[in-house]
Amino acid sequence: MKKSNLYCLAFAITALYGCQQPSSVKTETAAQAADFKPVAGVQDIMAYEVDPAADALWGSVSVVIDKRGITENQPTTDKQWDELRGRALILIEAANLLSIDGRPVARKGFQKLDDEGTPGNYSAAQAQQAIEANRPVFNSFAKGLGLVGEQMLKAIDAKNSRDLMDAGGALDEACEACHLKFWYPGDHARR
């Protein structure tokens, strides 16, 4: 046998042996994957993912009627559509992150919500208690947010501004329904 073939055979055996993991390593890895440890609070996900993504999606299509007439704003370039696609994906995945059990409303060291103290708004502790007492409802709102994100993604992939605008209304409804239950329930009285 040639020396080069011997090296190839030795490399192949080493590679195959190296690819095999003991079953205890595989089991440990699977257990670790199922044990999520949230770092960001709900407030962080809203501030850094949901709000910017939703604002970009809402602002992407509009109709302005003024004394100059009707002006329609909508994405026109592949780059604009691609940027919106990224925002829709962020929205969809943020909905998944919101559903992870054990996620606090406000991360440690930031126990006060941005709008805490506004009449009708929950404190972080009150919102946390409401979510914990109604986790299936909270998760259904998060799932609804993700489904609207998927609706927006479909409109974006089809480059359909009208469907994107319609989905914007559904996004507003999904956000408001959750907020009225878990963020500012006292706002019912003012509506």
Tell me if 164 sits within 8 A of 76, measured CB to CB. no
pLDDT, tens digit (0-9, with 9 covering 90-100), for 130-168? 999 999 999 999 999 999 999 999 999 999 999 999 999
Measured torsion, CA atoms of residues 46, 151, 162, 177, in degrees rounded to the nearest 10: -50
pTM for this structure? 0.77
Strands 62-66 and 69-73 come out as antiparallel
In this prediction, residue 186 carries a pLDDT of 76
Q: What percent of the chain has pLDDT over 90?
A: 62
Give ∠ CA 12-13-14 in degrees, rounded to 5: 90
d(CA 127, CA 61): 33
What is the CB neighbour count within 10 angstroms for residue 40?
A: 17
Q: Which domains does the chain have, with CATH numbers?
A: 40-104+113-190 (1.20.120.10)
Backbone angles phi, psi at 190, to 5 degrees: -85, -5
User: Residue 15: is its pLDDT beyond 90?
Assistant: no
Give me the mean pLDDT over the 12-25 stretch. 48
User: Residue 127: is its pLDDT beyond 60?
Assistant: yes
